[in-house]
Amino acid sequence: MSTPPALPASRLRPYRPGTSDPDWAVESIRARGVVLTRWHERLGELTDLRGNDPESRALLETLQFGARPARHRAGPPAALLERLREALRRQIDLIVEYGQLDLRGIEFYRALEADLVATPQADEEDPIGVLLERVCDQVHAFYEQAVGAPLGSSWPGITWKVVPTRLHPYQAGDPDLAPYTAAGSVALGEQQADVDVHIYAQHFGPEAYLSLPAILTHEVFAHVPAQPRRDHEPSIFTEGFLDWAAFTFFEASCRHLLRGAEGPALHHGRRLHDLRKGHPKFLRLGRTDEGDGLTPARRAGHQLAEAVVTWWERHNPELDGTAIRLRLAGLAARLNVHDGGLEMSAKDEFVTALSPRRPAMERALTHYFRDPTVGLDALLAASGVTTRGSR
Ligand SMILES: [Zn+2]
């Protein structure tokens, strides 16, 4: 990959903790992230094609076991990555020597080994940071295009950190959800957004890694640019309509996020997304993203958006469905950064009224779909939302 510009458009800054002690839990997650990044073009074969083979399972177990954060360990953090690499190389030797493999299988595992020992790349230091930076750049570009003007300082500075968790972030007790051990949250300030990437320290494997593009896209798309700039209760706008828009954008931008692994990243992003929409486990959680009553808000926001897409598709059968979805996602983005004296509750009201079955809304939506650069006033008026002025 090319060297990122000195000041990326997304203004991403790595979080620097104020302590010199290496955090071994963070380091063990980073080490697994580095290995998963090096393997990402082969993760589909490792988990799907060979996912039920004892050889593949043993290797993935070693990935977890070899990166256990040591208690009371001193020394440079890089040692943990070296230990993990060595454990995996030994495991691959065992697999090749004793496994039930054909020639193609031997080639596959030797290729994994070659990826492990290849010369480090510039982006190896912080694979999650590299991914987040790509997400920020993609989302920022989409918002600028949707708004039709540079965002300038209205786009906040972004810091991020990995937060190792002692429990599964979704408290999963069932096998469907168990491998998805990563989650995100955003804390907003006047000029800044802090992205936390929560990862279960005991288990960070291919499914969690491959679900990160979808998770991070949701966090950056829905929460980082939010106006007004303060933390919000999950609602039909923040977790319904914006979640729908973020996922629509994720599906369109995934190929830029994990090149070579976009198929598996799409698959796991969709899988986690489906689990999040309806899974009862999610009703219990209380972070930015999850809370009581969230699942109905999420489902309602998605249904209203899909009804708009279906309506416009029916009237314009020559148009491509993805383009229609992205145009509506652009409306969600514009509304998200639209200040104009609107509170989040007014944006919720707008989403609730977002139905082409209302004649005024149908007219306003028709104008918007024909020319997505029109002002938001007509749409807001059609929803019955009153504003103190808009831009
Ligand atoms: Zn959210």
- State pLDDT tens for residues 194-206: 999 999 988 999 9
Q: Domain limits of the chain?
A: 18-124, 127-382
The whole model's pTM is what?
0.90
Are the C-beta atoms of residues 349 and 385 closer than 8 Å to each other? yes
pLDDT classification of 147: cutoffs 50, 70, 90:
very high
Owner of token pair 């979704």: 170
Distance 218 CA to ligand 1 centre (A): 6
Are the C-beta atoms of residues 152 and 144 closer than 8 Å to each other? no
pLDDT classification of 1: cutoffs 50, 70, 90:
very low
Q: Which of 54-63, 70-79, 345-354, 359-368 has the lowest mean pLDDT?
A: 70-79
Distance 49 CA to ligand 1 centre (A): 32
Q: Taking residues 250-259, what's their average pLDDT?
A: 94
Distance 31 CA to ligand 1 centre (A): 27
Distance 243 CA to ligand 1 centre (A): 7
pLDDT of residue 388: 53
pLDDT classification of 390: cutoffs 50, 70, 90:
very low
Owner of token pair 């006033």: 377
Distance 66 CA to ligand 1 centre (A): 33
pLDDT of residue 299: 86
- Distance CA(299)–CA(276), nearest Å, equals 10
Q: Which of 19-23, 50-54, 102-106, 312-316 has the lowest mean pLDDT?
A: 19-23
- Distance CA(162)–CA(199), nearest Å, equals 7
Distance 39 CA to ligand 1 centre (A): 29
Distance 289 CA to ligand 1 centre (A): 4
Q: Exposure of 363 by Cβ count < 10 A (0-12 exposed, 13-18 middle, 19+ buried)?
A: middle
Distance 129 CA to ligand 1 centre (A): 19
Distance 55 CA to ligand 1 centre (A): 37
* Planar angle of CA 278, 283, 287, nearest 5 degrees: 120
Distance 181 CA to ligand 1 centre (A): 16
Tens digits of per-residue pLDDT, 40-82? Answer: 899 999 998 998 899 999 999 999 998 877 666 665 656 788 8
Distance 249 CA to ligand 1 centre (A): 14
Distance 217 CA to ligand 1 centre (A): 10
Q: 3-state SS string over the chain?
A: CCCCCCCCCCCEEECCCCCCCCCHHHHHHHHHHHHHHHCCCCHHHHHHHCCCCHHHHHHHHHHHHCCCCCCCCCCCCHHHHHHHHHHHHHHHHHHHHHCCCCHHHHHHHHHHHHHHHCCCCHHHCCHHHHHHHHHHHHHHHHHHHHHCCCCHHHCCEEEEEEEEECCCCCCCCCCCCCCCCEEEEEEECCCEEEEEEEEECCCCCHHHHHHHHHHHHHHHHHHCCCCCCCCCCCCHHHHHHHHHHHHHHHHHHHHHHCCCCHHHHHHHHHHHHHHHHHCHHHHHCCCCCCCCCHHHHHHHHHHHHHHHHHHHHHHCCCCCHHHHHHHHHHHHHHHHHCCCCCCHHHHHHHHHCCCCCCHHHHHHHHHHHHCCCCCCHHHHHHCCCCCCCCC
**Model confidence at 188: pLDDT above 70:** yes
Mean of the per-residue pLDDT values of the chain: 86
Distance 94 CA to ligand 1 centre (A): 43
Distance 219 CA to ligand 1 centre (A): 6
Query: Minimal CA–CA distance to 383: which of 368, 225, 147?
Result: 368
- Distance CA(218)–CA(246), nearest Å, equals 5
**Model confidence at 2: pLDDT above 70:** no
